[in-house]
Amino acid sequence: MMKLDDIAALAKVSKTTASRALADSPLVKEETKALIREIAKAHNYKPNTLASAFARKKSGIIGFCLLNKDHPSFGHPFFGPVLDGALEQARKDNYHIILAANKGSDYVFEEPFMQDCIEGVVLSSFAPAKAVQEFKKRGIPQVLINDVLNTENNTFIMDDNYGGAYQLMQHLMKDKGHFRIGFLTDRLSHTSYLLRYFAYIDAHRDAGLPVYSNDKLPLFDLEGGFSLSSDYYLKKYGYDDIPRIGSPMVVVGVKSAAGYEAVKQLIATGDLPSAIFAVSDSLAIGAIHALQDAGLRVPEDVAVVGYDDIISSTAVRPALTTVRVNRKEIGRTAIQELEKLIENPEQETKIIYIKNNLIVRKSS
């Protein structure tokens, strides 16, 4: 393997000049540069990346962490596309992406490269404050996806959950004339779902309508045994605690089976809403199946809408009306913001909401 020394020798210049020439420094005469470049090319010279990174103390690597209970899940319909967007952007800006996932509840990321080689890190999924503090302590800039913590001076990227859910509610109420709308959700301790819930409530309030309420439904645990990672949105929307308004159905787990069971329970009460807003497509699909299995028609008897626009939303019949979350855009933006942070680490807290799109299909 050719090294800089060899190229310099061939060009009869010093290593320094050769180095500069290849970095296109203005300090080197154009002729000299051309010569050196030519020689480098002819001998297929490639700088030793490790040596270069070491000397400059810059690796050009960004860590992408998925924080999960026990195993990585890029197979998840949300994170896969986010990663795609991140990779696309990183590549464009000449950064590498290295992957990491926590083991169990240990959020320290002991892996060597994660310790001291990454120039920044994207924390995806539900980042615990512990992980954030850890990176902050090491002085590694970070961007968080999908959640907002109380930690200071961080950049957060998330879907415009409130806006998307509000649009969906407008569609249901204004376009379709529904005014008894059930709410089916995963635990509200997830910020995304909480915001969708607020939009659900506010849409009623703004329309001067009461929120669908059903005495025969149990009082579900709104937080599902977890607690909010931040009270930022509680404050923002004027609450001290997650308010119980109407009769939200809260399930644990994201699987459609959970939605199925909940709606079965709802049907058993005999007091059906005319529409169900499920906080995720997965739950919505379960809801549709439960309705259909009970002999009810969707959307004629009960309309169902979801959120996310996962692939499965067109596999169900009727195809699901939902909100398309721009996952790739979330990934891209995360990298862009991280790069800004790498350039200039001193920044204020910043929350960026990524626009989404209402997708009206047949289920509403």
Partner DNA sequence: TTGTATGCGTTATCAG
Partner DNA sequence: CTGATAACGCATACAA
**Contact between 202 and a second copy (CB under 8 A)?**
no
**Contact between 116 and a second copy (CB under 8 A)?**
yes
CA distance 205 to 199: 10
CB 274 within 8 A of CB 178: yes
Q: What are the tokens at 47?
A: 């700088």
Reference 300, options 308, 312, 290, 292; nearest CA is 292
**Contact between 74 and a second copy (CB under 8 A)?**
yes
**Contact between 244 and a second copy (CB under 8 A)?**
no
Nearer to DNA, 11 or 228 (CB): 11
Segment interacting with a second copy (CB under 8 A) among 56-64, 182-190, 196-204, 220-228: 56-64
- Residue 312's binding partner, choosing from a second copy, DNA, none, with beta-carbon cut-off 5 to 8 A by kind? a second copy
Beta bridge partners of 304: 276
CB 96 within 8 A of CB 117: no
Amino acid at 145: I
Nearer to DNA, 11 or 169 (CB): 11
**Contact between 306 and a second copy (CB under 8 A)?**
no
Number of residues that bind a second copy (CB under 8 A): 57
Of 2, 37, 72, 253, which one interacts with a second copy (CB under 8 A)? 72
Give the Cα-Cα-Cα angle 180, 278, 214 (nearest 5 degrees): 40
**Contact between 54 and DNA (CB under 7 A)?**
yes
Beta bridge partners of 67: 125
CA dihedral sign, ordered 307, 309, 312, 315: positive
**Contact between 256 and a second copy (CB under 8 A)?**
yes
According to CB under 7 A, which residues from 2 to 21 bind DNA? 3-5, 12-17, 19-20
Give the Cα-Cα-Cα angle 151, 153, 156 (nearest 5 degrees): 80
Of 88, 175, 241, 301, which one interacts with a second copy (CB under 8 A)? 88
**Contact between 56 and DNA (CB under 7 A)?**
yes
- From the CB of 204, what's the least distance to a second copy, in Å? 29
Reference 158, options 196, 106, 210; nearest CA is 196
CB 104 within 8 A of CB 110: no
- From the CB of 307, what's the least distance to a second copy, in Å? 15
DSSP state of 211: P
Segment interacting with a second copy (CB under 8 A) among 24-32, 88-96, 147-155, 232-240: 88-96
CA distance 354 to 324: 11
- Residue 4's binding partner, choosing from DNA, a second copy, none, with beta-carbon cut-off 5 to 8 A by kind? DNA
Residues 6+ apart with CB under 8 A from 170: 203
**Contact between 31 and a second copy (CB under 8 A)?**
no
Q: Could you write out the DSSP letters of every residue in 85-127?
A: HHHHHHHHTT-EEEEEE-BTTB-S---HHHHHT-SEEEEEES-
Secondary structure class of 284 (helix, strand, coil): helix
Segment interacting with DNA (CB under 7 A) among 27-35, 212-220, 253-261, 288-296: 27-35
Secondary structure class of 20 (helix, strand, coil): helix
- Residue 99's binding partner, choosing from a second copy, DNA, none, with beta-carbon cut-off 5 to 8 A by kind? a second copy
Nearer to DNA, 21 or 144 (CB): 21
According to CB under 7 A, which residues from 74 to 103 bind DNA? none
Nearer to DNA, 48 or 150 (CB): 48
> Which spans of this chain sit near a second copy (rule: CB under 8 A)?
1, 46-54, 57, 59-61, 71-77, 79-81, 83-84, 87-88, 91, 94, 96-101, 103, 111-113, 115-117, 256, 285, 289, 292, 310-317, 327-328
